[in-house]
């Protein structure tokens, strides 16, 4: 199956149009932004047959090209999924608008009055793979936060994203807003992506969503600031204090199973289970529930001996299995001699999401203070490191860097601040 890309002007022209649209968006009232999101939800429902037909063509092409089952599954849209996407847009419309928030005005000795006001970033470039729902999620968040956005999906989503772009732009036109506020790069050639990364005079931030190779390519080639996220190793440390009650043992097994199996291709799925030597006796129960779901376990010698003694199969772990983001039904196991060793291990390998299961409040607090990751969790699945789950409504990405934004990026993370100075003919002495 061949792909004919709809005509589109040079990327610099696309970015210039986005820049112009951004000027309109940054002054929009909250009411108008809400109206356009509701219009978008209506367009998605009204265009269901066209969107699903375009997606079916993408899925067929992906299967013919030999893409893996997990990638195809991430690509596929269903009527239920599309209606869920429309509902998500409406949920974003119900979120608090951060744009225009101001700090209290402060009168300085010079007589000027100063404050800061929250404003949109401007023009975003978002690069992602496979998931057409990202196209709508990002568009909704960008519009609600007053930003224009240029979207670059993978080659496997060209038809789906084009159909979704048409729905988004129809909603913008219906509300009297420039359709160039949301534009999709329809030619997925890497040269177009490289061109986007160099438009630092027109684009304010690049947000990649994908594997380590994509992030590295963006960081190494961009002159536009890049917000890196969505990649990183997820650890869970099982403290000995959490295994003294049969109910806690059951809860530990449930948390670990949820962390690994609910969505193994997600960036917040568990990669490495660290087991306190004092909790080693409950490892077989946890491993058994994982094995029943088809999880391949790669264990260090001590964990391997424990599992073999219980009649459970595991593979000897290689050094490369630690610090590895699996994104599949594969998980590494390591026995540690307590919290100190767990913290040292996480310091060497972590930065995304790290969890402790413990009944010791002091251990929990020390874990929270010491672990330097985008999200740190106590007695909860790492799958909660998600914009929707953390009350943001949705997310553009999960940032694992420290400048500007860290963790799930929702509306507030798509804004910055500017100083507002009020005077009455004041001059500086």
- If you count them, how many residues does the chain have? 429
Contacts of 135 (CB under 8 A, 6+ apart): 151, 153, 157, 160, 161, 164, 165, 168, 184
Structure pTM?
0.86
Contacts of 213 (CB under 8 A, 6+ apart): none
Tokens of 420: 């507002």
Q: What local confidence, expressed as pLDDT, does residue 398 receive?
A: 87
For 293-360, where are the alpha helices, taking DSSP H only? 301-309, 339-349
Tell me the CATH number of domain 11-227+409-422, given options 3.50.50.60, 3.40.605.10, 3.90.79.10, 3.40.190.10. 3.40.605.10
Q: Please report, to the nearest 10 degrees, the dihedral formed by the alpha carbons of residues 20, 26, 28, 32 taken in order.
A: 90
CATH number for the segment(s) 233-384: 3.40.309.10
Which DSSP letter does residue 229 get?
B
Q: What local confidence, expressed as pLDDT, does residue 358 receive?
A: 97
Under 8 Å between Cβ of 255 and 217: no
User: Residue 151 forms beta bridges with which residues?
Assistant: 126, 184
For the segment 69-125, what is each residue's pLDDT rounded down to a tens digit? 878 888 999 999 999 999 999 999 999 999 999 999 999 999 999 999 999 999 999
Kind plus residue range of the DSSP H or E element containing 247: helix 246-261
d(CA 71, CA 223): 30
Contacts of 30 (CB under 8 A, 6+ apart): 97, 99
Q: What local confidence, expressed as pLDDT, does residue 7 receive?
A: 54
Beta carbons within 10 angstroms of residue 395's beta carbon: 27
Under 8 Å between Cβ of 37 and 145: no
SS3 24: helix
Residues of the chain with pLDDT under 70: 1-9, 230
Pairing of strands 407-408, 398-399: antiparallel
Domain extents in the chain: 11-227+409-422, 233-384
Q: What local confidence, expressed as pLDDT, does residue 380 receive?
A: 97
Q: What local confidence, expressed as pLDDT, does residue 2 receive?
A: 40
Under 8 Å between Cβ of 296 and 315: yes
DSSP for 325-389, written as a single string: ---SSEEEEEEESSHHHHHHHHHHHEEEEEEEE-S-HHHHHHHHHH--SSEEEESS-GGG-STTT
Q: What local confidence, expressed as pLDDT, does residue 1 receive?
A: 39
| Phi and psi at residue 424, to the nearest 5° | -140, 65
Q: What local confidence, expressed as pLDDT, does residue 265 receive?
A: 83
d(CA 135, CA 357): 36
First to last CA, the chain: 71
d(CA 147, CA 144): 8
Q: What local confidence, expressed as pLDDT, does residue 3 receive?
A: 46
d(CA 334, CA 2): 48
d(CA 99, CA 11): 28
d(CA 353, CA 176): 42
Closest residue by Cα to residue 267 from 332, 343, 342, 210: 210
Under 8 Å between Cβ of 154 and 75: no
d(CA 178, CA 185): 17
d(CA 330, CA 45): 37
Tokens of 280: 């080693």
Under 8 Å between Cβ of 113 and 421: yes
């Amino acid at each position: 199956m061949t792909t004919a890309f709809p005509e589109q002007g040079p990327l610099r022209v696309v970015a210039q149009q986005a820049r112009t649209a951004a000027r309109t968006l940054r002054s929009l009232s909250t009411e108008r932004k809400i109206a356009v999101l509701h219009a978008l939800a209506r367009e998605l429902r009204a265009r269901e047959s066209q969107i699903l037909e375009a997606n079916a063509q993408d899925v067929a092409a992906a299967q013919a090209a030999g893409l893996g089952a997990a990638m195809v599954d991430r690509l596929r849209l269903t009527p239920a999924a599309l209606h869920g996407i429309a509902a998500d847009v409406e949920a974003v419309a119900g979120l608090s608008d951060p744009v225009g928030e101001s700090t209290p005005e402060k009168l300085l000795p010079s007589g000027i009055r100063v404050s800061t006001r929250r404003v949109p970033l401007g023009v975003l470039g978002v690069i992602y793979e496979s998931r057409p729902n990202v196209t709508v999620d990002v568009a909704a968040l960008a519009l609600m936060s007053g930003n224009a956005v240029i979207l670059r999906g993978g080659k496997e989503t060209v038809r789906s994203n084009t159909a979704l772009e048409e729905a988004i732009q129809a909603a913008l036109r219906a509300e009297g807003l420039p359709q160039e506020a949301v534009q999709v790069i329809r030619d997925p050639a890497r040269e177009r992506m490289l061109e986007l990364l160099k438009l630092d005079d027109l684009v304010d931030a690049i947000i990649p969503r994908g594997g380590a190779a994509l992030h590295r390519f963006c960081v190494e080639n961009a002159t536009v600031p890049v917000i890196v996220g969505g990649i990183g190793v997820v650890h869970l440390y099982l403290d000995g204090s959490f295994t003294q009650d049969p109910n806690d043992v059951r809860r530990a097994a449930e948390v670990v199973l949820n962390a690994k199996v609910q969505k193994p291709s997600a960036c917040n799925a568990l990669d490495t289970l660290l087991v306190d030597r004092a909790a080693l006796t409950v490892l077989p129960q946890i491993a058994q529930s994982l094995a029943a779901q088809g999880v391949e376990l790669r264990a260090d010698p001590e964990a391997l001996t424990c599992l073999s003694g219980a009649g459970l199969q595991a593979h000897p772990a290689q050094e490369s299995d630690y610090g590895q983001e699996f994104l599949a039904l594969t998980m590494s196991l390591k026995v540690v001699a307590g919290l100190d060793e767990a913290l040292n291990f996480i310091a060497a390998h972590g930065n995304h999401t790290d969890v402790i299961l413990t009944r010791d409040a002091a251990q929990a607090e020390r874990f929270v203070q010491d672990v330097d990751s985008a999200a740190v969790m106590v007695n909860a699945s790492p799958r909660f490191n998600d914009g929707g789950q953390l009350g943001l409504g949705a997310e553009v990405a999960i940032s694992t860097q420290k400048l500007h934004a860290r963790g799930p990026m929702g509306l507030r993370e798509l804004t910055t601040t500017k100083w507002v100075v009020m005077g009455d003919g004041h001059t500086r002495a």
